[in-house]
Amino acid sequence: MSQGRNNKRRFRSATELSVDNLEATFRVGPLVNLAPLVSSLGCNPEPLFRQAGFCLEDFQNPDHRMPYIRSSHLLASCVEATGCEHLGLLLGQQAEPSHLGIAGFLVRAAPNVEQALNALVENLDLHDEGGAVTLDVGPDFSTLSFSVILNGVSASDQIYDISAVMMCKIMQVLCGSDWCASTIRLARREPEDPAPFRRFFGKVLFFDSTECAITFGNSCLSRQAPTADALLFRHLSQEAKELHALQHHEMIEELPAALRRGLLTEQFAAHQIAGVFGLHERTLHRRLRAAGTSFRQELDQARMSVSEQLLGSTSLPVCDIANALGYADSSGFIRAFQRWCGTTPSSWRKQNSPLLREKYFRS
């Protein structure tokens, strides 16, 4: 059984280990269908890819690694050009777990559902350096969630749409095509036409969430996957371990993304973040002082980044965002936000949210 039962599992995202957001990459994987999909929606993808600094061939090989930030800008341009707010949903529907590379193959070969999801949690970073996945196993229900943890990512709503579809598909591969989630939550505004989302996700879908997550009953965790292969699972696990051993990064470089993930999973206290790195809390504070910063400074920076993402991408009330960031009340969050940005959260949203919406969607 998983060590994560009754605890939130840490996703070892390579983005958490990245020295620079601009250097973070991902395997093309599910985006291998981007150009054909854009073409099917009546747009010529070639100039869109060229303007973003890519050629169509860059996205034809699912194993090709691409820069995360620049690729997200391309995705936003494709949404704007096609006028299709559910482009990410369509991309997810055309993808399979195998598009996730070794993490997807581990999911298929795992002996049971819980081990499959833990393998996903531990190894998706080998596919995606821009996101964090968490498995939270509660007394009766489990939640599998995905969060974008990079700054400067465009079209995060589309990325969340792709991720939600992929999480559902993984569960259907493991549990059968008749598997259904108890709830599905998307960290995006409800689109003008929610019908495509309702058709795929059903009545359990909720928009304007603080996280992209699916919740399901624990009864399926011990179920044996129909594609289980113990020897293949062991081989792939060893290969993934060797790939992780090649990653060498300093704690101070890992901290910003770890804090963002901690905020989104309510695991951001100093001792909790220290535990992520296998350190005592005093050691964490000492290393930060030596680097000319402090835990509070780094936490403030992470809170500012997450708050801007939620203000710009959702319609959540300020009080809900304050609560998601760990503030006891809205006033504390508002004062902090004014210190960071020189304006209130509501004013920032009025100034920036329409610009973001206009940039990525046709009116």
Token pair of 110 as six digits: 């795992």
> Residue 179's pLDDT is what?
95
Rounded Cα gap, residues 30 and 33, in angstroms: 7
Are 102 and 174 spatial neighbours (Cβ–Cβ below 8 Å)? no
Token pair of 87 as six digits: 């482009």
pLDDT digits 0-9 by tens, 61-113: 999 999 999 999 999 999 999 999 999 999 999 999 999 999 999 999 999 99
pLDDT digits 0-9 by tens, 155-188: 999 999 999 999 999 999 999 999 999 999 999 9
Across 120-146, b (16+ Cβ under 10 Å) vs e yields bbbbbbbbbbbbbbbbbbeeeebbbbb
> Residue 4's pLDDT is what?
40
Is the pTM for the entire model greater than 0.75?
no
Please, what is the Cα angle at 32 between 214 and 211, to 5 degrees?
A: 20
Domains, the chain, ranges and CATH? 14-238 (3.90.1520), 251-360 (1.10.10.60)
Q: In angstroms, what is the C-alpha Rg of the chain?
A: 20
pLDDT digits 0-9 by tens, 249-263: 567 788 888 898 888
